């Protein structure tokens, strides 16, 4: 997973309390996950992409080495 995935997953986890009951099967779980993903505001996705691009640039500057600073 990359930074975009983690940022978006964090937002989805914050919304998980909306689903207090267990899914009955895999199809229901997929539907719930899709509904949850679709409920994310565009700015959440945009912010995750912006952060991801910053990390990519930092990786290029570090020539593939360790990145310093916040993750």
Instruction: Domain ranges for the chain, please list them.
Output: 3-61
Q: Label residues 8-41 b or e (16+ Cβ within 10 Å = b).
A: beebeeeeeeeeeeeeeeeeeeeeeeeebeeeee
pLDDT tens figures, 12-71: 888 876 667 888 899 998 898 888 889 899 999 998 888 888 888 888 888 877 777 654
Q: pTM (2 decimals)?
A: 0.61
Predicted confidence (pLDDT) per residue in 4-22, tens digit: 678 888 888 888 766 678 8
């Amino acid at each position: 997973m990359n930074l975009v995935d983690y940022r978006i997953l964090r937002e989805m986890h914050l919304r998980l309390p909306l689903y207090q009951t267990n899914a009955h099967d895999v199809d229901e779980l997929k539907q719930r996950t899709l509904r949850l993903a679709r409920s994310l505001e565009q700015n959440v996705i945009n912010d995750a992409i912006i952060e991801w691009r910053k990390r990519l640039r930092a990786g290029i500057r570090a020539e593939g080495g360790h990145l310093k600073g916040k993750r």
